[in-house]
Each structure stands twice: as C-alpha cells, then as structure tokens.
Structure 1
Amino acid sequence: MFGKLSVAVLGLMCSSAYAESIDQPALKAGDNWVYTVTVETGQQGFSRKEELVTVERVDSNDVLISTRQNGSNQPPIEAMMGRDWSRSRDINGKQEVVNRPFEFPLVQDKKWTVDYTEQHPNRLHTSETFHNDYVVTGWEDIQVPAGTFRAMKIEAQGQWTAVVAPTALVGAQALATPGAVTTVAQAQHTASRTASGSLYKAFWYVPAEKRFVKSIEEYYSSKGIRSERYTMELNSAKVS
C-alpha cells in the first residue's frame, strides 16, 4: 500500500513540476548553442548548415549575441536581442519588437500578439504588415540531434499583407520599312494592389537549455502554397 501511495505521490509531483510556469532564463556570457539550420525555398530550394550562437555580453535589458557558421574562421554576425529572446529593429524610424517567441513567465494557454506595419520596406512594396498570435500549448517530448527533451511548446498562427507598388514597364520595338527603321516606344502600367498570405511558427523551449531546442517558421503565399520554411534543431549546448 505504501509503495503504491509513494508512486502516486511521485507522479503528482512530476505532473506539478511540468505544470509550473517557466521564468525568463538567466543568460550568461559564454552560453552557446550549436544548431542545424535548414532552409527550404519553394519546391526545390534547399540548404543546410551548422550555426554557433553565443552570448557575448549581458546587460540589464539586452544581450549581445554572435552567430557564425560552426567551424568557420569568418567574423561572426553580432546583434542585440532582448533577454527574453525577443528581437527589435527600426520600423518607420522607431525601434519595435518584430519577433517575440517567448513571453515569460511561460505557462500553458498563455497568449500574446506581435504585429507591426512597415512603410516602404523595399522597392516592390509600399508597405508590409505582419500579425502573429502566439499561444503556449503545453509540455511535449521532442527529439533532436542533441537528444530527447521534455519541452514547453509555443505555436503562432499569423498573416502577412503587402501593398504592391504600382509599376511602369517601358519597352521599345524597331519596325523596319523600305529605306527606314522606326522605333516605337510602348508603356505598360500596373496599378497598386494588395497581396496577403499566412504564416506558422513553433518553438520547443527547454528551461535547462535556456533556449529552444527546435524551431520551425513557415510562410505561405496568397494561394496557400508554402514559399519558405526555416528549421533549427539543437546539436549541442554549453550553458552555465
């Protein structure tokens, strides 16, 4: 009887531990992670590499992260990120959060939203809008090259909208006639239009690793066809 009771109590303790909220990680300089990064573009574009991500410096609100191809002698790319792994950049002259995969403390069913509109992001688009709805779906077992982990899964469903700038295509055609060559100019104008599509993201966060052990980001065209997929899987980690 005592043995069965002990097993039951232990089971409740384990379930309670997994149900607890997850606090923001205590990142330290030198913490690093090696990921296999797979990029799929369209139906045929495919590339894979290993990336080393290292914490270079920790401030009161931000961390300096360096990223380089694992084993490469090339200088790393350094970028500032939030201590919650959020990323901000200039949007219309103001720093705004454009990516927040985690909103600590993490607890099952927690929800948050990230959205922004950028004016004139490139020469083809007058504006681009991204909307992401995140939700913590709960604990899940996940297997990656670094091993099998019990992870808190976060998913995001979203939409993107782009206002396509009007275009003017100008061409010329040479017409030959007896004794002369005449050039005829032709112009074709395309009106501004709006295009939209969807996106999906998933992250498997492991508290002991201070970061996700796997992530997936997918982008879909206005016709519902996947145009891009980015996958990161943990190979190894050194955290203190």
Structure 2
Amino acid sequence: MRTLVVAAYLSMFVKRSCYAAMLLGCLTSPVMAQEPVSAPTTPSAPTTAAPIYKVGDTWTLLWERADSKPGTPFVLTVVAVTEKQTTLSSSWNGAPSKEVDYDNQANMTRDGNGTTYEPSNGYLSFPMTVGKIWDFHHIRRFTSGTLDVSGHAEVVAFGRVQVPAGSFDAYKIESRGTNAKQLDRLYSAPFSATYWYAPSVKKIIKEVYTLYLNDQAETHNIELAAFKLAP
C-alpha cells in the first residue's frame, strides 16, 4: 500500500514538473541552427580578349544626328583578315563600297573616306574589363588637313543594352578628348563619347558622340540595326 502511494505521488510530481516546464518553454522543440543567408551577388564582369574577325562578318548600323530621324544606314563587311589587319568594305546608304581598315585591336586605322588614323583611333583596348583606363593619341590625316587627336577612355560598366538589332551584354566606355591642328594648334575642339562594345557581336553597338566647336555642341548617334557573323 505504501509503495502505491509513493508511486502515485511521484507520478503527480512528474506531471506537475512537466506542466511547469511547458509553461517555461523547456519542453518546446529545440531551436534548429539556421544557416546564414548570404546576400545575392552580382555576377562579375568578364575579361574579354580582342575579337577574332572572319571573312563574311557583316554589320548594319544607323548613323544619325541628334535632331534627325530616321538614321542613315551603312554596312560593314569583313573581306580580308591578316595577323595585323582586318580589311572591310563599307557601303554608305547603298553607295559603292569603300575600304575600311582595323588593326588587331579592332581599332580603325582608315575610314571609308580615305582618312587615316596613325597609329589608330584608340577607341578600344584589350583585354577589356570594367575599370580599365587608357590614354589615346593619333594623327588624323584627311584630304583637307591634319588633326592631332588625344584623349582618355575608361570602361565604366558592363550590362544589358538595347539597340534595334536586339539586346546584348556590352561594356560601357566613356571617352573625352580634343581635336587640334597638329602644327599651330589654333583650332581646338573638345569632344566626348559614350559607346558600348558587345563581345558577342564583335562590334561597338551604340555610340553617342558630341563635338564642341565655337561654343556649340554637335551630336551624332550610331546604333546596330542588324548583323550576321560568319560560321
């Protein structure tokens, strides 16, 4: 009989202890350790080598002044490739083709008007990555004279850009410089340019260029309208 009383007392003690523990939260499920949640990361911009052109690569671009619509089309097609130079044919608004030359950094050394850029126009610098900075300097020789062109360029961003030909991942480059007469330097015209180079297209797909002359600003825009790369 005494044993039964002790057992009943212990049972009641355990129940009361459990009830008290529940009130104190001691019998709740243990808190599971949670893994720290990392903040979403932005994919880093790639480092891109100079493009490798192939005969048959073709781009159609639209050139326009800021106050004119629609743009005038011109077509560039690769016709020859060597280790140091890429030769293209350039047709402006359906006119007969003229020669354009690039160096092995995809920079222009000769345009369709016969103007030469010595050593090149310095628009691009490879390998390309966000944050890269370079200075450029060239002598521009054309039929009516010679200009000394110098400036500074920086790759400021990498992201998606929309143009008439579609949407592409591209480097955004900002450039500033001055056009000046080579000898007397009496003529001096600052310029600024913002342009986007898309590695998948092997081309600058968009450009906004402004020339400041006699206290006036003249702006032209270029955008990629279509392209076809050789297999």
Could you state the TM-score of these two structures normalised by the residue count of structure 2? 0.70
Q: Residues 110 and 198 from structure 1, CA distance in 2 versus in 1: closer, same or farther, beyond 3 angstroms?
A: same
Q: Secondary structure at the match of 1:109?
A: coil
CA RMSD of superposed structures (Å): 3.2
Contact map agreement 1:53 1:65 (CA 8 A) in 2 = yes
Distance 2:190 2:147 in 1: 13
Q: Residues 95 and 118 from structure 1, CA distance in 2 versus in 1: closer, same or farther, beyond 3 angstroms?
A: closer
Q: Give the aligned residue type for 2:227.
A: A
Q: Deviations over 1:53-81 (max 9, x none)?
A: 111111111001111135x3x43111221
Residue number in structure 1 paired with 2:65:
39
Contact map agreement 1:33 1:237 (CA 8 A) in 2 = yes
Contact map agreement 1:67 1:76 (CA 8 A) in 2 = yes
Q: Which has the higher contact order (CA 8 A, sep 6+)?
A: 1
Contact map agreement 1:195 1:222 (CA 8 A) in 2 = no
Q: Deviations over 1:4-47 (max 9, x none)?
A: 99x979x65x703xx2211111110001111111135xxx7888
Q: Secondary structure at the match of 1:139?
A: strand
Matches within 5 A, 1:86-235: 86-88=107-109, 96-116=118-138, 122=144, 128-162=147-181, 194-223=186-215, 225-226=216-217, 228-235=218-225
Q: Which of 213, 227, 230 is residue 237 of structure 1 equivalent to?
A: 227
Contact map agreement 1:121 1:128 (CA 8 A) in 2 = no
How far 1:142 sits from its partner (Å)? 1.8
Contact map agreement 2:118 2:140 (CA 8 A) in 1 = no
Distance 1:69 1:118 in 2: 21
Residue number in structure 2 paired with 1:68:
91
Q: Deviations over 1:125-171 (max 9, x none)?
A: xx643211011111133211112222111111112233898xxxxxx
Distance 1:97 1:161 in 2: 17
Q: How many residues were matched structurally?
A: 191
Structure 2: gaps spanning 5 or more residues: 1-34, 111-115
Q: Which of 33, 36, 50 is residue 24 of structure 1 equivalent to?
A: 50
How far 1:202 sits from its partner (Å)? 1.8
Q: Secondary structure at the match of 1:140?
A: strand
Contact map agreement 1:196 1:222 (CA 8 A) in 2 = no
Contact map agreement 2:135 2:153 (CA 8 A) in 1 = yes
Could you state the TM-score of these two structures normalised by the residue count of structure 1? 0.68
Q: Deviations over 1:196-239 (max 9, x none)?
A: 2310112211111111111222210142x21x323211111111
Identity %: 24
Q: Deviations over 1:92-150 (max 9, x none)?
A: xx972241211111011111112245799747xxx643211011111133211112222
